[in-house]
Amino acid sequence: MTVTLGVDLGGTKIAAGLVTPGGVVTRQRSAPTPAAEGPEAILQTIVDLATSLTASAPGVVIAGCGIGAAGVIDPVSRTVQFATSSLPGWAGTRLGAEIERRLGMPVATVNDVHAHAIGEAVHGAGRGERTVLVIAAGTGIGGALVIDGVLQAGRHGAAGHYGHVPATEAAGLSCTCGGTGHLEVIASGPAILQAYLRRGGTEPGDTREIFARADAGDALAAEVIGVAATALGRSIGGSINSVDPDLVIVGGGLAAAGSRWWNTVESQARAEAMGLLAGCRIVPTSLGANSAIVGAASLINTAAPALPNTASLTP
Amino acid sequence: MTVTLGVDLGGTKIAAGLVTPGGVVTRQRSAPTPAAEGPEAILQTIVDLATSLTASAPGVVIAGCGIGAAGVIDPVSRTVQFATSSLPGWAGTRLGAEIERRLGMPVATVNDVHAHAIGEAVHGAGRGERTVLVIAAGTGIGGALVIDGVLQAGRHGAAGHYGHVPATEAAGLSCTCGGTGHLEVIASGPAILQAYLRRGGTEPGDTREIFARADAGDALAAEVIGVAATALGRSIGGSINSVDPDLVIVGGGLAAAGSRWWNTVESQARAEAMGLLAGCRIVPTSLGANSAIVGAASLINTAAPALPNTASLTP
């Protein structure tokens, strides 16, 4: 059997798996991201996970390794162009070249949100569809456009910053990117928490607590969730008018927060979409936590010649 | 020489031309759109223009005919799915099949705004670029995303309705599409006229007159133009964050209205774009009135076998 290695590199955890051409994860390992130790420690953790998985499956042909990593990854040089403070020193890392050299197999690199989107579009809820818009709503708002199974990552690999578009509900609010009035500062998880505090709500532990309070009858909690979901839904409706997708897949932490949020997002998106497009399907993700591993792995062409796994790929 | 026929079918005029594979229009004819006479008269006008052009170029091989037409054109059935009141009865017209039967050559169909965008992206300002976002701002706000020379028209052929996305500056205003708060109702040409009147301006003849008054020192005229250009620029900046294009091409009647409008659109788009993307090139169209003819013609693959033009294609 030919499989590919898929790696999901986030700020707190690195997960890796062996993935079949059909998108099934057969074996999986993970380790904490040694963020504070810097890029070299992160690279070594990826290699260790890959080596361990490879050793666990003797006789299996591994066609290559796809990595979905936090940060903006240049699609040509496979170098990290930009990273947030959660990964100090990560920008500038020659991710693709370094892992390729150490593992001795073809390596493809992509942003982790993009990997998630590819996984869902190709092997998850979007399987078989042509034009798939994936929106992830959680700590931030991002996503990707996948057309005929191919990620449209743009010139710098930075496409899909759907949280950084004008939103009426965010008018005047400062955005994390330096801009003003962006969707993300009213519709993300932290934005819901901030809005609740700004409007005089009693300190909750986290965004999850605001959802619990809304369910328990807290009108302010219900309202800030409603405004956030409305802003996101309207923006998704605008994206439907712009892209005319076959399918919109909505994932991320907020999408798992229950029907209150989901129903508002979906109804507002439909209200915003033009007549011909108002029936556009809007569905939740289906692959769960494995989507980025599956998406990253799918970047490797398993039809290409590959050497059998001799379990001797350790550097 | 092998050429293709390109047709630009608008609400008031039908223009047709012979176009080289390099995107040069060698001969051109036009006629008024017989909108009031209905679809059959429109189809016959296209055939008459095509026949006339064909007869004018004996010995030239015509590989096929590309048509950019007003309305939403289904990409598979080549039937008009939706049309505005400017073309009564146009919806439902089997445009591709009817013209193909009457001309006896391969016919490709696309929306006229899409044809314009393809022309600019492939043979105009976007020549040689990979990911090109084209925005047309005039009576409406529309455009298209062209990736590697291929229009991304979406499921129904309706992609590119960039005027129908939420815009803060349009909050509360009713849109022509039935929605509320869309970019088009604050940033289009008619929207500028409406805003000027709503704010108490003395009846101007048309939007052009408002630009003239702004240049002559009318503060209200300058302000409504500024708000319109700001809204469009911010929305383009959001699209840059979403798409990460190599290039944004801005055309349409408003793009030709002078530096007051253009400079605001460009600076607001840059202010909205995230750091890595703020340098994205934003340029005007370069093909002028021929862009839709060139774009429609480019849909025909001139490398495919074609019969020589015997000037006998009249039905």
Domain positions in chain A: 2-117+291-297, 127-286
**B165 to A235: CB separation less than 8 angstroms, yes or no:** yes
The reported pLDDT for the residue numbered B314 is 36
CATH class, B128-286 region: alpha beta
Residue B26 burial (C-beta neighbours within 10 Å; 0-12, 13-18, 19+): middle
Pick from B174, B232, B265, B274 the residue to mutate for testing the A interface (most A CBs within 10 Å). Answer: B274
**B159 to A272: CB separation less than 8 angstroms, yes or no:** no
Pick from A174, A244, A277 the residue to mutate for testing the B interface (most B CBs within 10 Å). Answer: A244
In chain A, what residues touch B181 (CB-CB under 8 Å)? Answer: 168, 234
Same fold, B2-117+292-297 and B128-286: yes
pLDDT in tens, B130-172: 999 999 999 999 999 999 999 999 999 999 999 999 999 999 9
Asked if the model's pLDDT at residue A306 lies above 80, the reply is no
Looking at domain A127-286, which of 3.40.190.10, 3.10.129.10, 3.40.50.280, 3.30.420.40 is its CATH number? 3.30.420.40
Q: List the CATH code of the domain at A2-117+291-297.
A: 3.30.420.40
pLDDT in tens, A197-223: 999 999 888 999 999 999 999 999 999
Average pLDDT, chain A: 93
In chain B, what residues touch A72 (CB-CB under 8 Å)? Answer: 276
> What value does the mean pLDDT take over residues A4-8?
98
**B241 to A171: CB separation less than 8 angstroms, yes or no:** no
Residue A86: pLDDT band by 50, 70, 90 thresholds? Answer: confident
The reported pLDDT for the residue numbered A176 is 84
Asked if the model's pLDDT at residue B8 lies above 50, the reply is yes
Residue of B nearest to A238 (CA): B165
Question: B244: distance to nearest CA of chain A, Å?
Answer: 5
In chain B, what residues touch A171 (CB-CB under 8 Å)? Answer: 168, 171
Q: List the CATH code of the domain at B2-117+292-297.
A: 3.30.420.40
Higher pLDDT, B309 or A216: A216
Question: How many CB atoms within 10 Å of residue A122?
Answer: 23
**B242 to A157: CB separation less than 8 angstroms, yes or no:** no
Asked if the model's pLDDT at residue B87 lies above 80, the reply is yes
Question: B60: distance to nearest CA of chain A, Å?
Answer: 37
Question: A300: distance to nearest CA of chain B, Å?
Answer: 21
Residue B303: pLDDT band by 50, 70, 90 thresholds? Answer: low
> What value does the mean pLDDT take over residues B288-300?
95
Residue of A nearest to B181 (CA): A168
Asked if the model's pLDDT at residue B304 lies above 60, the reply is no
Average pLDDT, chain B: 93
Share of chain B above pLDDT 70, in %: 96
> What value does the mean pLDDT take over residues B69-76?
91
The reported pLDDT for the residue numbered A152 is 97
HSE, CB side, 13 Å, CA atoms: give it for residue A89: 10
Tokens of B111: 């929306």
The reported pLDDT for the residue numbered B1 is 79
Question: A302: distance to nearest CA of chain B, Å?
Answer: 24
Q: Shortest CB distance from A238 goes to which of B166, B244, B274? A: B166
Question: A141: distance to nearest CA of chain B, Å?
Answer: 11
Question: How many CB atoms within 10 Å of residue A85?
Answer: 8
Q: Shortest CB distance from A244 goes to which of B159, B242, B271? A: B159
The reported pLDDT for the residue numbered A301 is 80
> What value does the mean pLDDT take over residues A286-300?
95
In chain B, what residues touch A173 (CB-CB under 8 Å)? Answer: none
Q: Shortest CB distance from B155 goes to which of A164, A182, A245? A: A245
Distance between CA atoms of A305 and B296, rounded to whole angstroms?
A: 41
Q: Cα B216 to chain center, whole Å?
A: 31
Residue B217: pLDDT band by 50, 70, 90 thresholds? Answer: very high
Q: Per this entry, what is the length of chain B?
A: 315
ipTM of this complex prediction, to 2 decimal places: 0.93
Residue of B nearest to A243 (CA): B159
Residues in a beta bridge with A142: A136
Residue of B nearest to A147 (CA): B152
pLDDT in tens, A126-151: 999 999 999 999 999 999 999 999 99
In chain B, what residues touch A153 (CB-CB under 8 Å)? Answer: 244
pLDDT in tens, B223-243: 999 999 999 999 999 999 999
Asked if the model's pLDDT at residue A28 lies above 50, the reply is yes
**Amino acid occupying residue A175:** C
Asked if the model's pLDDT at residue A194 lies above 70, the reply is yes
The reported pLDDT for the residue numbered B306 is 46
